[in-house]
Amino acid sequence: MIAALPMYDRPETAGANDRFWESVRDHLGYGPMTLTRGRDHWDIWQSPDLVLAQTCGLPFRAKLCGRVTLIGAPDYRLYGCQPGHYNSVIVAHRARAGAPLAELDGAKMAFNDPLSQSGWAAPYQHFQDNGLRIGELRETGSHVDSARSVADGFTKFAALDALSWEMIRRYEEFAADLIEIDRTAPTPALPFITAHRRDPAPLANALSRAIFDLSVSDRDVLHLHDIVDVRQTAYLAVPIPPAP
């Protein structure tokens, strides 16, 4: 059996993620002893042995829908977002403090992955809605590296998952060189999933109870407050952008 929580797993959050999974497993009554790390995300997400994982909204609606079972969405209580939703923060170098979004028209953007809702789909739609163009692109592989690309001057801006941005501001020194320009419209947060045909109800219950049991310090690290019954139709209603 496989359980993985890769989306917000970094050295500073790994211990809290481990304790959270142990609590989920205890409430569920089965599951692997430890979280899987260092394995390809797509292998994890599509494995018939998957008990629990978290994916991104764009991979879910573009490729995983019908191949996995949706459990629900986490509630991180993010600014400007209803429960079970999140958005992207558009960041630029601090030298652009006070600049409007329009000044980034045609500018070079760092993005983490072509199938990232927060790193690619959300900023693409946001720029379209504002009559702006995204210029040259630089694929970085992670939100942290996208943010660092902007701080180091290799790109003009990046769109970061709002929770990733909170963690970058907390844990990365270079974040002092970045400022927030704008935020995109909220969409359903990164879904918890399990294997196709596995009953999601016991997992939703175990997640809810484990979230309730989080210590004050682990809740502060993970920002987890609840699991929300966001339906599959809400994910599928979000447009799929063209590939970058």
- pLDDT tens column, 135-164: 999 999 999 999 999 999 999 999 999 999
Q: What is the pLDDT of residue 228?
A: 98
* Average pLDDT estimate for 173-179: 98
* DSSP 8-state symbol, 154: S
Q: What is the pLDDT of residue 193?
A: 98
Q: What is the pLDDT of residue 192?
A: 98
Q: What is the pLDDT of residue 111?
A: 98
Q: What is the pLDDT of residue 159?
A: 98
Q: What is the pLDDT of residue 142?
A: 98
Band of pLDDT at residue 243, cut at 50, 70 and 90:
very high
pLDDT tens per residue across span 221-235 = 999 999 999 999 999
Where in the chain is CATH 3.40.190.10? 88-185
Q: What is the pLDDT of residue 214?
A: 98
Q: Please, which residues have CB within 8 angstroms of residue 16's CB and are 6 or more apart in sequence?
A: 217, 218, 221, 222
How far apart CA 49 and CA 36 sit, in angstroms, is: 12
What global pTM score does this model have? Answer: 0.96
* Average pLDDT estimate for 89-113: 97
Q: What is the pLDDT of residue 94?
A: 98
Q: Which CATH number fits domain 2-77+188-236: 1.10.10, 3.40.190, 3.40.50, 2.60.40?
A: 3.40.190
Pick the closest to residue 23 from 12, 35, 13 (CA basis). Answer: 35
Q: What is the pLDDT of residue 223?
A: 98
CA atoms within 13 A on the CB side of 2: 23
Please name the fold of domain 88-185: D-Maltodextrin-Binding Protein; domain 2 (3.40.190)
Q: What is the pLDDT of residue 2?
A: 98
pLDDT tens per residue across span 182-194 = 999 999 999 999 9
Contacts for 123-128 with beta carbons within 8 Å, 24 or more apart? Answer: 123/88, 123/90, 123/159, 123/184, 124/241, 124/242, 124/244, 125/184, 125/185, 125/239, 125/241, 126/88, 126/90, 126/159, 126/182, 126/184, 126/185
Instruction: Tell me the pLDDT of the chain averaged across its residues.
Output: 98
